[in-house]
Amino acid sequence: MKIGVKTLAAKAAGDVELDEAVFGIGEVRADLLQRVVKWQLARRQAGTHKAQERNEVSRTGKKFGNQKGGGGARHGNRRAPIFVGGGKAHGPRVRSHAHDLPKKVRSLALKHALSSKVGSESLIVVDAASLKDAKTKSVKDAFAKLNLSNALIIDGDTVDENFAKAAGNIPNIDVLPAQGLNVYDVLRHDQLVLTKAAVEKIHARFAVKETA
């Protein structure tokens, strides 16, 4: 599969070959994408929610009523969950929300996410994403020529520092190295921009997995 390459000035810069097995999946499986997005968000969740339980509440432990004759239950202290100010029964505890997901599922879902961008014509390949000076105006002008308003930009091993700084001032634009490519960020942006270096890294990434 061939796709045209553009410069940041929206001029033609040749073509690049995309692997059909990675970018050319015809029927995109939403169930795979949903599983991986749920897995990613669960790993990000802090899990620091906490409520005081009965043994953690600072209230008197002295028996406050008679054993009999009070007309109510025989309570030993005010820490019981049924009292205002008492401990929380079965409340949230600090824990990790992360769960396991097979690597093959995560890898396949990323292929489907990339293919979905190709299918919706939301994938753009540029020759390079670099600037001489970290000026936001230069990036805005380039994005206007490429019709980018909500995009994820993936570069090679590293991201150009000037380009990343300039693009960081623009809302709905994220810049990541190829190693940071993930299903959630691909799906939550309207457009995906890959540099030629990123395409090579993606091909190499899946070639290694298939060989393994």
Full strand arrangement of the beta sheet holding 191-195: 12-17, 2-6, 123-126, 191-195, 151-154, 173-176
Q: What is the pLDDT of residues 47-106, one digit of tens each?
A: 999 999 999 999 887 888 888 888 888 888 889 999 999 999 999 999 999 999 999 999
Share of the chain above pLDDT 90, in %: 79
Task: Check whether residue 200 and residue 111 sit in a common domain.
Answer: yes
Task: Check whether residue 141 and residue 68 sit in a common domain.
Answer: no
Structure tokens of 40? Answer: 């990613």
Task: Check whether residue 87 and residue 117 sit in a common domain.
Answer: no
- What is the predicted pLDDT for the residue at 63? 82
Task: Check whether residue 39 and residue 66 sit in a common domain.
Answer: no
The answer to whether the beta carbons of residues 43 and 98 sit under 8 Å apart is yes
Distance of alpha carbon 109 from alpha carbon 185, whole angstroms = 13
Convert 62-73 to b/e letters by CB count within 10 Å (16 or more is b). eeeeeeeeeeee
Task: Check whether residue 112 and residue 128 sit in a common domain.
Answer: yes
Which structural domain range is residue 68 located in? 46-96
Q: Which of 63, 80, 96 is the last residue of a domain?
A: 96
Task: Check whether residue 37 and residue 68 sit in a common domain.
Answer: no
Instruction: Please provide the average confidence, as pLDDT, over all residues in the chain.
Output: 92
Task: Check whether residue 83 and residue 146 sit in a common domain.
Answer: no
Task: Check whether residue 67 and residue 146 sit in a common domain.
Answer: no
What CATH number is associated with residue 131?
3.40.1370.10
Distance of alpha carbon 153 from alpha carbon 189, whole angstroms = 10
Task: Check whether residue 30 and residue 57 sit in a common domain.
Answer: no
Task: Check whether residue 105 and residue 166 sit in a common domain.
Answer: yes
Task: Check whether residue 121 and residue 175 sit in a common domain.
Answer: yes
The residue behind tokens 């015809």 is 26
- What is the predicted pLDDT for the residue at 41? 97
| Domains in the chain, number | 2
Please state the pTM of the whole predicted model. Answer: 0.84
Task: Check whether residue 119 and residue 142 sit in a common domain.
Answer: yes
- What is the predicted pLDDT for the residue at 212? 55
The answer to whether the beta carbons of residues 128 and 194 sit under 8 Å apart is no
